[in-house]
Structure 1
């Protein structure tokens, strides 16, 4: 699914990151050098990491079977948008660090759709099977209709019998990483969390045709 040009850009960016070049500058330099389209720039920015970052992220990643009785803080839009992308059949990426991410750049412009309720219900079902002690969804307050989405999520949690809450907040990242388990793929949150759960990974089965696996690109 990736052209030789994109594969070379991935390899070049890894090279620069491994040698300590600042991420933003390195991504911009490589993207401009290869004249990449916007989606491919997002791929580099969100999914390519240095060896040190890969090791650090993976040591925090825990299996879904290991979250029983823990309180999970869910990075609401981060997880929801990726699950919606999977349900829509859009491109998703298993990144260098093993986390599954989407290539959408819609965070601040997110709008609820017919996929929203499907994604919320599927996430709750998956979480319920993991038997956490409690789950707390955090949605960024500045995004339009976050209160409506949090309210819907609370009702579904109650209806499906999963102990938890959903709320809007500011400074979501700093709140999520304080939980016993953080559910996110956000690089900043991962690096401040003790344990991280990759919820989208649980939804990959049967969706491999839309998956780009960077771990296979050396």
Structure 2
């Protein structure tokens, strides 16, 4: 309980600093150190808490499955598959205050293909069939072991499903996603440059295509833990701003 209260206050302080224009990295480090947060909670602040302005920009780009039909779709392969794996294996995921579902395991550099990976690929391709994009390209970072084999497997599955597209292992995924009508990624830098964003893991959870995991929701007043599938907010207004007392505002402004 004490640890959760500390995290709620940390989120509120970080939101205050971000909303008042403080540099993101400095604000995250300051708040994390001030509250002596463990690594996973620091990662949550870094990946899942956005200023009201930035959260709103992200939300306005989010589309549902019907917004993908007939359009060119670029998929950030590992970013999407790792989060789907978390859903399939009951790991905790976070519904961030920008409306995007994210995984906090930070295993990208150590990623290994395993049985859950193949289940995640199957879930991905089945959803793509339902979505009906005009073309879909799935990109995997070739620096990760066995990316070539995984890309080949996805490519074969796309062909078998009758989907026009490709799956490639490339050096530098982010630049490859530019120019697509819709991108599937939870990466902040990718979302910033995208025209429209499809949150594939969240779509799967909406459709009950995966077991109900633990879903942590980041809001303007802290965090909430859902043991069942929450009602998701896509486009529209974000959560209300955190309430920070005037004393805390003065302390925060003077210390950072």
Q: In 2, Cα distance between the equivalents of 1:83 and 1:216?
A: 26
Q: SS of the residue aligned with 1:137?
A: strand
Deviates more, 1:170-179 or 1:115-124: 170-179
- The Cα of 1:208 is off from its aligned counterpart by 4.9
2:121 is equivalent to residue 117 of structure 1: no
Structure 1 unmatched ranges of 5 or more = none
More helix by share: 1
2:221 is equivalent to residue 185 of structure 1: no
- The Cα of 1:216 is off from its aligned counterpart by 6.7
Residue in 1 aligned with 2:218? 214
Q: In 1, Cα distance between the equivalents of 2:170 and 2:10?
A: 37
Residue in 2 aligned with 1:148? 149
Q: In 2, Cα distance between the equivalents of 1:62 and 1:146?
A: 28
2:74–2:180 contact (8 Å) kept in structure 1: yes
Structure 2 unmatched ranges of 5 or more = 222-241, 243-256
What do residues 123-170 of structure 1 show as CA deviations (whole Å, max 9, x unaligned)?
110111011111100001111111011011111111222221100112
Q: SS of the residue aligned with 1:3?
A: helix
Q: In 2, Cα distance between the equivalents of 1:4 and 1:44?
A: 14
What is the TM-score when the length of structure 2 is the normalising length?
Answer: 0.82
Q: SS of the residue aligned with 1:42?
A: helix
Residue in 1 aligned with 2:165? 164
What is the TM-score when the length of structure 1 is the normalising length?
Answer: 0.95
Residue in 2 aligned with 1:45? 46
Aligned pairs, number:
218
What do residues 34-73 of structure 1 show as CA deviations (whole Å, max 9, x unaligned)?
1111111111010000011011111111111111110100
Larger Rg: 2
2:140–2:173 contact (8 Å) kept in structure 1: yes
* Matches for 1:71-86 after TM superposition, within 5 Å: 71-86=72-87
State the Cα RMSD in Å.
Answer: 1.5
Q: In 2, Cα distance between the equivalents of 1:216 and 1:134?
A: 37
Q: In 1, Cα distance between the equivalents of 2:95 and 2:159?
A: 32
Residue in 2 aligned with 1:33? 34
- The Cα of 1:119 is off from its aligned counterpart by 0.2
1:98–1:215 contact (8 Å) kept in structure 2: no
- The Cα of 1:177 is off from its aligned counterpart by 2.9
